[in-house]
Amino acid sequence: MTATVVYKGNLRCECTHLQSGSILETDAPTDNKGKGERFSPTDTVCVALATCIITTMGIRAADMKVDLTNTKIDVNKHMLSEPRRIGKIEVALHLPNTGISDQDKRTLQLIGDNCPVFKSLHPDLIVQTTYHWQ
Protein backbone atom coordinates (compact mmCIF):
# COMPACT_ATOMS: atom_id res chain seq x y z
CA MET A 1 0.00 0.00 0.00
CA THR A 2 1.24 3.50 -0.86
CA ALA A 3 -0.90 5.77 1.30
CA THR A 4 -3.97 6.08 3.44
CA VAL A 5 -6.52 8.83 2.99
CA VAL A 6 -8.92 9.95 5.71
CA TYR A 7 -11.82 12.24 4.88
CA LYS A 8 -11.81 14.79 7.71
CA GLY A 9 -15.12 16.43 6.81
CA ASN A 10 -15.76 19.88 5.35
CA LEU A 11 -14.30 18.76 2.00
CA ARG A 12 -10.82 18.17 3.48
CA CYS A 13 -8.70 15.00 3.31
CA GLU A 14 -5.55 13.96 5.14
CA CYS A 15 -3.23 11.75 3.10
CA THR A 16 -0.43 9.84 4.82
CA HIS A 17 2.48 8.40 2.86
CA LEU A 18 3.05 5.05 4.56
CA GLN A 19 6.79 4.66 3.92
CA SER A 20 7.76 8.09 5.28
CA GLY A 21 4.80 9.14 7.39
CA SER A 22 4.65 12.52 5.64
CA ILE A 23 1.21 14.09 5.47
CA LEU A 24 -0.50 16.04 2.69
CA GLU A 25 -3.85 17.70 3.21
CA THR A 26 -6.27 18.56 0.44
CA ASP A 27 -9.21 20.92 0.36
CA ALA A 28 -11.86 21.62 -2.24
CA PRO A 29 -11.16 24.78 -4.24
CA THR A 30 -13.17 27.93 -3.64
CA ASP A 31 -14.86 27.58 -7.04
CA ASN A 32 -16.21 24.18 -5.99
CA LYS A 33 -17.64 24.78 -2.50
CA GLY A 34 -14.29 24.54 -0.67
CA LYS A 35 -12.21 26.93 1.37
CA GLY A 36 -9.14 26.67 -0.87
CA GLU A 37 -6.89 26.46 2.19
CA ARG A 38 -4.84 23.52 0.88
CA PHE A 39 -3.96 22.01 -2.48
CA SER A 40 -7.09 20.75 -4.21
CA PRO A 41 -7.10 17.20 -5.60
CA THR A 42 -6.69 18.60 -9.12
CA ASP A 43 -3.82 20.82 -7.92
CA THR A 44 -2.04 17.69 -6.71
CA VAL A 45 -2.32 16.17 -10.20
CA CYS A 46 -0.60 19.24 -11.65
CA VAL A 47 2.09 19.26 -8.96
CA ALA A 48 2.61 15.52 -9.47
CA LEU A 49 3.30 16.21 -13.15
CA ALA A 50 5.79 18.99 -12.39
CA THR A 51 7.65 17.04 -9.72
CA CYS A 52 7.76 13.92 -11.90
CA ILE A 53 9.25 15.90 -14.79
CA ILE A 54 12.07 17.35 -12.69
CA THR A 55 12.64 14.12 -10.74
CA THR A 56 13.12 12.02 -13.86
CA MET A 57 15.33 14.72 -15.35
CA GLY A 58 17.29 14.84 -12.09
CA ILE A 59 17.93 11.11 -12.18
CA ARG A 60 19.44 11.34 -15.67
CA ALA A 61 21.19 14.65 -14.93
CA ALA A 62 23.08 13.05 -12.02
CA ASP A 63 24.40 10.37 -14.39
CA MET A 64 25.46 13.16 -16.77
CA LYS A 65 27.14 15.11 -13.93
CA VAL A 66 24.67 17.97 -14.47
CA ASP A 67 23.30 19.76 -11.40
CA LEU A 68 19.66 20.86 -11.66
CA THR A 69 19.52 22.13 -8.07
CA ASN A 70 17.34 25.22 -7.60
CA THR A 71 15.29 24.62 -10.71
CA LYS A 72 12.03 26.54 -10.26
CA ILE A 73 8.84 25.28 -11.85
CA ASP A 74 5.70 27.33 -12.42
CA VAL A 75 2.50 25.31 -12.79
CA ASN A 76 -0.80 26.66 -14.10
CA LYS A 77 -4.02 24.66 -14.17
CA HIS A 78 -6.98 25.36 -16.45
CA MET A 79 -10.27 23.72 -15.53
CA LEU A 80 -13.13 22.83 -17.86
CA SER A 81 -16.75 22.72 -16.75
CA GLU A 82 -18.54 20.05 -18.80
CA PRO A 83 -17.54 17.66 -17.43
CA ARG A 84 -15.59 19.35 -14.63
CA ARG A 85 -12.00 18.31 -15.19
CA ILE A 86 -8.51 19.61 -15.84
CA GLY A 87 -8.38 20.77 -19.45
CA LYS A 88 -4.84 22.08 -19.63
CA ILE A 89 -1.70 22.11 -17.50
CA GLU A 90 1.09 24.57 -18.23
CA VAL A 91 4.48 23.69 -16.78
CA ALA A 92 7.35 26.18 -17.12
CA LEU A 93 10.73 24.99 -15.89
CA HIS A 94 13.43 27.56 -15.11
CA LEU A 95 16.63 25.53 -15.17
CA PRO A 96 20.25 26.49 -14.45
CA ASN A 97 22.35 26.88 -17.59
CA THR A 98 25.75 25.93 -16.24
CA GLY A 99 27.56 25.03 -19.43
CA ILE A 100 25.12 22.32 -20.44
CA SER A 101 25.40 21.38 -24.11
CA ASP A 102 22.40 21.76 -26.40
CA GLN A 103 22.40 17.97 -26.90
CA ASP A 104 22.27 17.37 -23.12
CA LYS A 105 19.44 19.89 -22.81
CA ARG A 106 17.47 18.07 -25.53
CA THR A 107 18.12 14.72 -23.82
CA LEU A 108 16.91 16.01 -20.45
CA GLN A 109 13.84 17.65 -21.99
CA LEU A 110 12.91 14.43 -23.78
CA ILE A 111 13.15 12.58 -20.48
CA GLY A 112 10.96 15.21 -18.77
CA ASP A 113 8.38 15.01 -21.55
CA ASN A 114 8.16 11.24 -21.09
CA CYS A 115 7.94 11.02 -17.30
CA PRO A 116 5.56 8.42 -15.81
CA VAL A 117 2.94 10.95 -14.69
CA PHE A 118 2.81 12.55 -18.14
CA LYS A 119 2.38 9.11 -19.71
CA SER A 120 -0.45 8.37 -17.23
CA LEU A 121 -2.56 11.41 -18.11
CA HIS A 122 -5.56 11.17 -20.43
CA PRO A 123 -4.66 12.10 -24.02
CA ASP A 124 -7.44 14.75 -24.10
CA LEU A 125 -5.59 16.71 -21.40
CA ILE A 126 -3.42 19.40 -22.96
CA VAL A 127 0.02 19.63 -21.39
CA GLN A 128 2.20 22.57 -22.39
CA THR A 129 5.76 22.25 -21.11
CA THR A 130 8.39 24.94 -21.63
CA TYR A 131 12.04 24.73 -20.67
CA HIS A 132 13.89 27.95 -19.88
CA TRP A 133 17.63 27.39 -19.47
CA GLN A 134 18.86 30.47 -17.60
Predicted TM-score (pTM) of the model is 0.94
pLDDT in tens, 99-116: 899 999 999 999 999 999
Tell me which DSSP letter residue 66 carries. -
pLDDT in tens, 77-93: 999 999 999 999 999 99
What is the C-alpha separation between 33 and 123, in angstroms, rounded?
28
Residue 122 confidence class, pLDDT cut points 50, 70, 90: very high
Per-domain boundaries in the chain: 1-39, 40-133
CB 75 within 8 Å of CB 88: no
Specify the CATH number of the domain 40-133.
3.30.300.20
